[in-house]
Amino acid sequence: MKPATKINVDQPAAHLRLVSGRAAGETSGIKLSGVSKTYRSRDGDVPSLRPLDFHINQGEFFVVVGPSGCGKSTLLKMISGLLPPTSGEVLVEGEPVTKPHGNVGIVFQNALLLPWRNILSNVMLPIDMKKLPREKYLARAKELLKLVGLEGFEKKLPWQLSGGMQQRASICRALVHDPKIMLMDEPFGALDAMTRERMNVELMRIQRETGKTVLLITHSIPEAVFLADRVLVMTERPGAIAAIYDVPLPRPRSLDAMSDPVFTELVQRIRKHFFTQGSLD
Ligand SMILES: Nc1ncnc2c1ncn2[C@@H]1O[C@H](COP(=O)(O)OP(=O)(O)OP(=O)(O)O)[C@@H](O)[C@H]1O
Ligand SMILES: [Mg+2]
């Protein structure tokens, strides 16, 4: 990577357009209106997210970055229907989300594989739960495992794999039923740098070829800029939208995109949010 270009981050560069969270096409994609979360506990309330309003377009690669504890996983769980918001509404393709919905693949922050199922059976879990034809999806499950470098580990139990390998298996599980929407919570956090880059490129290819809508959470600002059509930057807890940036890098992108001056400038601009907040994530 080239050394970072010196820029004045207080002067927005013309090509780094700050856009509003709202967009057209409200009946497609994912729309949040006034969605907030306060956890109630015996020790008192924990306000985790301020009311959020934004729209993720259908087929968009949308990435969220923010300091630890600012409510990113909470946001993903509310979009997936696993956690009810304290206020506001989530719409997925125009439908209010009230419970987990079928056309979504989720990669949780922890791999969450079932310890008694082998790797292949874990990947096949959505197929079994949806009672889809096993024979039809078995080949797909094996193909995905091969793609992420887990060929030969199909019969192993989760504890026999490293954390990064388990996380790769959980990515396969999220993709196996070919969902239209992928919600991914730090999916590559447990991977070594080289595997992570390979998985980045692979995920971009899959997204591009299938037109999936992807919401991905990451702590890595370069990863966010490399992958995203737009990057949402969150503030400290209770999380709010600090900014949403367009990423004007052309697609398809190779790892060379990381040496583009636009990439470097955008990474620096986003990093500045965390310096001013005093959190180095
Ligand atoms: N079940 C819960 N009960 C009470 N508080 C919770 C619960 N889950 C999360 N929180 C609190 O809500 C806040 C946001 O949590 P969340 O897991 O969404 O953060 P995050 O942005 O995903 O953090 P990280 O980057 O470390 O994964 C944290 O302060 C956390 O302590
Ligand atoms: Mg989290």
Domain closes at, from 154, 178, 202: 178
pLDDT tens for each residue of 49-69 = 999 999 999 999 999 999 999
Q: How many structural domains comprise the chain?
A: 2
Domain closes at, from 152, 178, 204: 178
Task: Please tell me if the CB atom of residue 37 comes closer than 6 angstroms to any atom of ligand 1.
Answer: no
Task: Inform me whether the pLDDT recorded for 9 exceeds 60.
Answer: no
Whole-number Cα distances in Å, 135 to 119, 131, 141, 147: 17, 11, 10, 19
Task: Please tell me if the CB atom of residue 271 comes closer than 6 angstroms to any atom of ligand 1.
Answer: no
Cα 233 to middle of ligand 2, angstroms: 14
> 190 and 152, same structural domain?
no
The verdict on residue 108 lying in a domain is no
How many other CB atoms are found less than 10 A from the CB of residue 91? 18
> 72 and 198, same structural domain?
yes
Rounded distance, CA 211 to CA 280, Å?
Answer: 34
Domain range holding 223?
1-103+179-281
The verdict on residue 254 lying in a domain is yes
Task: Inform me whether the pLDDT recorded for 163 exceeds 50.
Answer: yes
Name the closest ligand to CA 75.
1
Query: What's residue 281's pLDDT?
Result: 43
Phi-psi region of 227 (alpha: psi -120 to 50; beta: other; left: phi over 0): alpha
Domain closes at, from 178, 195, 217: 178
Cα 170 to middle of ligand 1, angstroms: 21
> 196 and 96, same structural domain?
yes
Owner of token pair 């991914």? 184
Please give, one letter per residue, the 3-state secondary structure of the chain: CCCCCCCCCCCCCCCCCECCCCCCCCCCCEEEEEEEEEEEECCEEEEEEEEEEEEECCCCEEEEECCCCCCHHHHHHHHHCCCCCCEEEEEECCEECCCCCCCEEEECCCCCCCCCCCHHHHHCHHHHHCCCCHHHHHHHHHHHHHHCCCCCCCCCCHHHCCHHHHHHHHHHHHHCCCCCEEEEECCCCCCCHHHHHHHHHHHHHHHHHHCCEEEEEECCHHHHHHHCCEEEEECCCCECEEEEEECCCCCCCCHHHHHCHHHHHHHHHHHHHHHHHCCCC
Rounded distance, CA 202 to CA 233, Å?
Answer: 24
- Give CA angle at 112 (166, 51), nearest 5°: 120
Q: Express as a percent the part of the chain with pLDDT over 90.
A: 74
216 is written with which tokens? 């991905």
Task: Please tell me if the CB atom of residue 72 comes closer than 6 angstroms to any atom of ligand 1.
Answer: yes
Residue 15 binned pLDDT confidence (cut-offs 50, 70, 90): very low
Task: Inform me whether the pLDDT recorded for 20 exceeds 80.
Answer: no
Query: What's residue 276's pLDDT?
Result: 67
Task: Please tell me if the CB atom of residue 71 comes closer than 6 angstroms to any atom of ligand 1.
Answer: yes
CATH number of the domain residue 231 falls in: 3.40.50.300
> 201 and 87, same structural domain?
yes
Q: Which residues pair with residue 239 across a beta bridge?
A: 49
Main-chain dihedrals φ then ψ at residue 239, nearest 5 degrees: -60, 135
The residue among 264, 189, 267 whose CA lies nearest residue 221 is: 267
- In this predicted model, which residue has the larger pLDDT, 224 or 99? 224
> 44 and 18, same structural domain?
yes
Residue 182 binned pLDDT confidence (cut-offs 50, 70, 90): very high
Rounded distance, CA 173 to CA 76, Å?
Answer: 17
